[in-house]
Amino acid sequence: MPKKVTPIQVDNGKVIECSPITLDLKIKNKKNKNEYIKYVDTNLYFRHMGGAGTIYCCDCQYSEEITSHLHGIEFDDYGFEIEAYSSGYQCQSCSKFYTLHYNEVKELEESDKQCECGGKLEDDKPILCPQCKSKKVEYYCRIIT
Ligand SMILES: [Zn+2]
Ligand SMILES: [Zn+2]
């Protein structure tokens, strides 16, 4: 079972509603840390989102902290700086969310990495609520890299 989180208090922050198309621009202009970027779309895809935040189900009020895409820096065995990232995926069978380290993403692409239930992990399929399987989910993006 994915761990449950307290729904974020969006009332404390200003919520900007935008489609994934205008999102990049909004992210670049994001100045206020209390500002949440809320995705409004009938279908959300990890591949088209960004940053990290909270997924919220409009039907059953389930919420979970997820990572869509975060950039970072790591050092390899020789001390060289390498660009690292983490990406969000969802199991198409049990709907569990995964945050894969870039090495795991490579593993996924090269050798059918699977969910612990045996299901397929995808980032280009509509996100479903892990609890009620509804597609009416919202994404409140808080962290941008
Ligand atoms: Zn739900
Ligand atoms: Zn699964």
| CB of 49 closer than 8 Å to CB of 39 | yes
d(CA 34, ligand 2 centre) in Å:
33
Question: In sequence order, which residues have a C-beta less than 8 Å from that of residue 65 and are 6 or more positions away?
Answer: 5, 52, 53, 54, 55
pLDDT band at 30 (very low <50, low <70, confident <90, very high): low
Segments of 19-120 assigned E as strands: 36-39, 51-57, 63-75, 81-91, 97-101
d(CA 29, ligand 1 centre) in Å:
31
Q: Point out the ligand nearest to the CA of residue 129.
A: 1
d(CA 57, ligand 1 centre) in Å:
5
Tell me the domain boundaries of the chain. 10-143
What is the residue type of 102? Answer: Y
d(CA 137, CA 104): 26
For residue range 90-125, what is the model confidence (pLDDT) as tens digits? 999 999 999 988 888 888 888 777 899 999 999 999
pLDDT band at 80 (very low <50, low <70, confident <90, very high): confident
